[in-house]
Amino acid sequence: MLPALMHATQVASPFHTKGWVYEEKYDGWRMVALKDKGRVRLVSRNERDHTKRFPHLVEALTNLKPASFTLDGEVAVFDEELVSCFEWLRRAIGPRTGLRHLNHGDLATPPLYMVFDLLQLGEKDYRPEPLKARRKALEKLVKGQSLVLPARRLMPNGFAAWTEVLHRGWEGYVAKDPESSYTGGRTLKWLKVKVPEYRVNAGSTIPRRCRNHYEEDDAAMNDPGNWFALLGVFGLFAIAWALTEINDTLKGIREAQETLATSGDDL
């Protein structure tokens, strides 16, 4: 059984709260990585096992030194501009097992596991610890990995972070209280803001850049092959991921009121 997952509350507008951190919101598939006595499972929030869909991620997680851990994150794919898209991921995975190959020239990565929290490591339950301690342990755990990465942290100012979101074409950001513990259910300690242009369709958010490629992806999704051919260019993505930064600030946006999300849970 999965631990009770923590869910962000959606608010209407970007904001800044002193001391909070801002993370990129991925257009991906939320997945919990469970490792017990060296055996890894990837389980969605509705407790369905998807381990066989992502053998390359299972291998990467298996190779991490601790014999047991519980991670919370999202599986996502990215293009050369570091934009994630759930539709590309959906078309990349088979109906039950394995990966398909998308002949999409803009994609720079295979499915990656973007981890935003650490719940358990070895015998220690990290959930009562503040986020800043969990993040520190998480970064140490995945240091040097290329397929399992910590969620990207944005500018420390919420308005500057939102400028980066708009500039990069991302789905939004999640603002978090670094002093908060990990508690199950909807919380006001994690607040998510989405770009208005994103729309819900068949249970997933679909940005315009994804929709523009639907027809060509439909024709390519049944081609044989696998994602490992993309790893040759992944080094360029990793460098861009590490070096990308923006100095613009966004002023004059009023602080968002805290309101419960009206839509369903995130993917």
Question: Hey, which residues are catalytic here?
Answer: 25
Q: What size, in residues, is the chain?
A: 267
Residue pair 30/267 in contact (Cβ under 8 Å)? The answer is yes
Residue pair 77/107 in contact (Cβ under 8 Å)? The answer is yes
How many CB atoms are located within 10 Å of the residue 204 CB? 18
User: Strands 39-44 and 69-76: what pairing?
Assistant: unpaired
Q: Label residues 81-113 b or e (16+ Cβ within 10 Å = b).
A: ebbbbbbbbbbbbeeeeebbbbebeebbbbbbb
Tokens of 222: 């049944």
Cα separation, 31 vs 186, whole angstroms = 17
Residue pair 174/188 in contact (Cβ under 8 Å)? The answer is no
SS3 173: strand
* Surface-to-core class of residue 237, CB atoms within 10 Å of its CB (0-12 exposed, 13-18 middle, 19+ buried): buried
- Sequence-ordered list of residues with C-beta below 8 angstroms from that of 207, at least 6 positions apart, any chain: 27, 83, 85, 169, 171, 195, 197, 198
